[in-house]
A and B are shown apart, each in its own frame.
Chain A
Amino acid sequence: MMKKLTPLLEWGTLLLSTGAVCFFLVVILWDLISKGAPSLSWEFVSTLPRAGMTKGGILPAIIGTVLLTMITALVAAPFGICCAIYLNEYAADNWLTRIIRACIRNLAGVPSIIYGLFGLALFVQGLHMGTSLISAGLTLGLLSLPYIIITTEEALRRIPASTREAALAIGATQLESIRDVVLPSAVPGMLTGLVLTLSRAAGETAPILFTGVAFYINNPSGYLNQEFMSLPYHLYMLSTQHQAIEQVRPLAYGTALVLIIVVFLLNLTAFYIRYKHSKDE
């Protein structure tokens, strides 16, 4: 009897831990969707907050998050792609390259709040940009940089050496071979990494706390030197700092749901690119 039961028990232990992990995800999604959905309406996503945040919508927070994510992409993508090209196409295997790689891995492990401090010291105070959309965007750009370099380099590495050699053999310079042959075929992989990184950046709160986010802006201008609202910070304020916390709970749920929809849509885009690309190959 025991002999038959043991494998079942062993298998059950592993299944139970897997089940627990799935359970966490189900609880998160179920709670946010079931309690957030009633707050969602066209008005919620298209109007300004009213009556001290207790009524109205979250339009400025949505605009802020979209603009911030776009600036992050504009800062981190060119920089990260150039660095990945250097590492994969040019760099020799020497001490300098090893230091650069070690720096990238360590940058990926630096806590996000320290990026916030760095942004505060460098952009807000050092370069006198003040608490603004551009300071926060640059800070998030730095935070995203190591992920973009790592994913881009991975995409470049998958392109076979023979592709490059073929281009060089017909007289292309190394830059031309990279620009016309290597990069085009690495685009799907690079895009996947970029979109995944941006989905992470869109949900980040700690790095923008001191670099430009504000609780309430009545006129979302979108100017780079202005403070802005953002979805994750809005959720944080509504759920911890608002003077009528219980009253604004439905709004907090609605904000959480919108945030998670934005993040998952970006993730789905990345999965779609990856899936389509793997089919093409």
Chain B
Amino acid sequence: MKLALREKIDHSARLLFRTTGLLVIAILGGIFFMLLWNTVAFFLKVKPMDFITGTQWNPSGSKASYGILPLLVSTCLVTLGAMAIAIPLGIGTAAFLSEYAGKKLKNILKPMIEMLAAVPSVAIGFLGIVVLGPGIASLTGEPNGLNALNGAILLSVMALPTIITVAEDALHGVPQTYKEASYGVGASKWQTLIKVTIPAAAPGILAAVMLGVGRAIGETMTVLMATGNASAFPKGFFHSVRTITATIAIEMGEVPYQTTHYYALFAIAAVLFLITLAVNLIGEHFVNKFRKYQAA
């Protein structure tokens, strides 16, 4: 083949690759634009204040109300519960893997954690109905055990692999010299872990937590199946709640195209998008901080 032709092909390939890179920006921009467009359409019909401060979500009532608060509080409640379980367990497991487990044990544990990460969310939600729900019901005397606690426990299971993997990387990245200095002044293994290794890995661990939070907030099928989806204002962990994601999943299939209700679902999705975006950006900030710190 002539050199000129080869160079021409090379040049057009370069353009093609570059276009795919730009298309990625277009996709995120497209998602953002779609949410914004429909949210604006929603705010032309419903006052923003009624949306933000409304304590009732009842789009199909005789007087439709579109308050996001009950959904937002539900999402936060379930996520907080999940983190209360997943953060201590996740950091404990990460510390065990990084500081205590031998190579053989690690070779068994790590694939197990990867397997846990691979279980589809719908299967975990199913077990919330058939295993965890009846368990909670028999403890509390409720009819089916589908409540915020159920969703929180399941979400913690889903967030754990992410938290463990990222936190273990962070702990593993702490220079050996730090630990040796700590042992040198007579600290025990535990004292070194608590006072030296974990603080030194703190930015990385925070990044792990943020990734776990992002995963839990955005999860749909698990909470849809396990939290009961009552649309009343959430009262606590032993009551049924309905998260933002579950509301979209339940109602989007039934609403007519381009009605206020249809736009309302995009508006709550926009709120969800902004929350996960903020969580991811905070997480990224900590990752960068950890990298800089490691490089220094």
A81 to B249, CA, bound (A): 31
Consensus secondary structure, chain A interface: helix
CB-based contact A32/B127 at 8 Å: yes
Known pairs A28-B127, A100-B25, A267-B118; A173 contacts B6 (CB<8 A): yes
B83 at the interface (CB under 8 A from A): no
Chain A residues with CB under 8 A of B88 = 17
Known: A109-B280, A110-B218, A111-B272. A18 touches B96 (CB 8 A): yes
Q: Is A263 an interface residue (CB 8 A)?
A: yes
Interface string of B90-112 (1 = CB under 8 A from A): 11110111011100000001011
C-alpha spacing A150/B279, complex, angstroms: 20
Q: Which of B7-15, B54-62, B177-185 contacts A (4 or more CB under 8 A)?
A: B7-15
A107 to B280: give the CA distance in the assembly, Å: 10
Contacts known (A105-B280, A113-B269, A175-B14); A203 close to B122, Cβ less than 8 A: yes
Q: Could you tell me the distance between the alpha carbons of A199 and B18 in the complex, rounded to whole angstroms? A: 28
Q: Which of A112, A113, A146, A240 has the most CB of B within 10 A?
A: A113
CB of A278 within 8 Å of the partner chain = no
B157–A24 CB distance below 8 A: yes
* A42 at interface by CB-CB < 8 Å: no
- A90 touches which of B18, B30, B100, B115 (Cβ 8 Å): B18
Return the chain A residue nearest B257 by Cβ: A125
Residues 3-39 of chain B, each 1 if its beta carbon lies under 8 Å from chain A, else 0: 0001101100110111011111101101100110010
Contact of B25 among A20, A99, A202 (CB under 8 A): A99
Query: Nearest Cβ in chain B — how far from A153, in angstroms?
Result: 11
Q: Tell which of B21, B112, B115, B276 has the most Cβ of chain A within 10 Å.
A: B21
| A31 x B131 contact (CB < 8 A) | yes
Among A6, A13, A175, A210, point to the contact of B92 (Cβ < 8 A): A13
Q: Which residues of B contact A210 (CB under 8 A)?
A: 252-253
Interface majority SS (helix, strand, loop, mixed), chain B: helix
A16, B92: Cβ atoms closer than 8 Å: yes
Q: Are B280 and A106 in contact (CB under 8 A)?
A: yes
Give the residue of A110, A149, A260 whose beta carbon is less than 8 angstroms from that of B273: A110
Residues of A within 8 A of B257 (CB): 125
| Mask of B106-150 contacts with A, CB within 8 angstroms, 1/0 | 000101111110111111111101110000000000000000000
Among A31, A90, A103, A249, contact of B28 (Cβ-Cβ < 8 Å) = A103
A165 at the interface (CB under 8 A from B): no
Interface centre among B7, B96, B279 (most CB of A within 10 A): B96
CB atoms of B225 and A240 under 8 A apart: yes
Evaluate contact between B89 and A91: CB separation under 8 angstroms: no
State whether the Cβ of B152 lies closer than 8 Å to any Cβ in chain A.
no
Q: Which of B24, B91, B100, B225 contacts A107 (CB 8 A)?
A: B24
The answer to whether B123 and A203 have CB atoms under 8 Å apart is: yes
Shortest CB-to-CB span from A275 to chain B, Å, is 11
Q: Are B93 and A90 in contact (CB under 8 A)?
A: no
* Complex contacts, A217 vs chain B, CB 8 Å: none
Residue of B24, B112, B188 near A25 (CB, 8 A) is: B112
Q: Are B123 and A28 in contact (CB under 8 A)?
A: yes
> How far is A121 from B33 in the complex, measured between Cα atoms in Å?
11
* Residues of B with C-beta under 8 A to A236: 122, 125-126, 221, 224-225
Give Cα A103 to B100, complex, Å. 37
Tell me the residues in window 253-276 of chain A with beta carbons closer than 8 Å to chain B beta carbons: 253, 256, 259-260, 263-264, 267, 271
Complex CA–CA separation, A175 to B245 (angstroms) = 44
Give residues 242-296 of B contacting A (CB, 8 Å).
245, 248-249, 252-253, 257, 265-266, 269, 272-273, 276-277, 279-281, 284
Contacts of B111 in A (CB 8 A): 271
Contact B122 A232 (CB under 8 A): yes
In the bound complex, do residue A18 and residue B93 qualify as a contact, i.e. CB atoms below 8 Å apart?
yes
Chain B residue at smallest Cβ distance from A112: B220
> In whole angstroms, how far apart are the Cα atoms of A90 and B119 in the complex?
37
Nearest chain A CB to B196 CB, angstrom units: 15
Q: Which positions in A face B, CB cutoff 8 Å?
A: 6-7, 10-11, 13-18, 20-22, 24-25, 27-28, 31-32, 79, 82-83, 85-87, 89-91, 97, 99-100, 103-107, 109-118, 120-122, 125, 142, 145-146, 149, 173-176, 199-200, 202-206, 209-210, 232-233, 235-236, 239-240, 249, 252-253, 256, 259-260, 263-264, 267, 271
Given contacts A114-B272, A259-B122, 6 further A-B contacts (CB under 8 A): A18-B93, A79-B20, A82-B16, A107-B31, A206-B221, A206-B249
Mind listing 18 A-B residue pairs with CB under 8 Å?
A14-B93, A14-B100, A18-B109, A24-B160, A27-B131, A28-B123, A86-B17, A86-B18, A105-B280, A110-B218, A113-B248, A114-B273, A115-B31, A118-B30, A203-B119, A204-B121, A239-B129, A267-B114
